[in-house]
Amino acid sequence: MKPRYALGSAALMVGSAVNYFGDRLLGFRIELWTGLSYFSGRLLLDLFIVPFIAGLAVAWVFGQGGKWLCYFPPLIVRILAYLQLAYSGEELALGSNQMNLILWCFFVILAVEAAAFGGILGEVFLRRIYTRPAAARAADQAPADPDPKS
């Protein structure tokens, strides 16, 4: 296994763990719809701040390219939480039900975008990556072949 794949796997696991334990620490479940009482400060924390921190963690562990990898931890955690609620058979609290799939997808997209902001800022501020690698810049500046048929 190449070291970059191992590092990417570790970054995904760290980001997913940050997202999962952040959800458990807040005690809020995005998948449970309770009506207007659903919209609260804990929703904002769980929807924006926790994935943002997970994106920061992925970028910190992975380095350059972490801004592309940070999309996956909130997606993994949210899908597993939705499936766990759908198929576990647990009793739901009185007045709550499982969120419909379309509205849930909207909230997942918001969480993934918050993680993307965290990944970008993590690369820039934590890892101090401002530009592309020198090899990629040199490949762009290489002289083009004037006659491509030869």
The separation between the first and the last C-alpha atoms of the chain, rounded to the nearest angstrom, is: 40
Could you give phi then psi for residue 33, rounded to 5 degrees?
-95, 125
Number of domains in the chain: 1
Percent over 90 (pLDDT), the chain: 59
| 3 state SS of 148 | coil
Which has more confidence, 53 or 145?
53
143 within some domain: no
Please, where are the H alpha helices in the chain? 3-26, 41-44, 50-62, 66-69, 72-87, 101-121, 134-141
148 within some domain: no
139 within some domain: no
Using CA atoms, how far apart are residues 15 and 74, in angstroms rounded to an integer? 8
Which has more confidence, 78 or 91?
78
Domain, as residue range, for 111: 3-130
140 within some domain: no
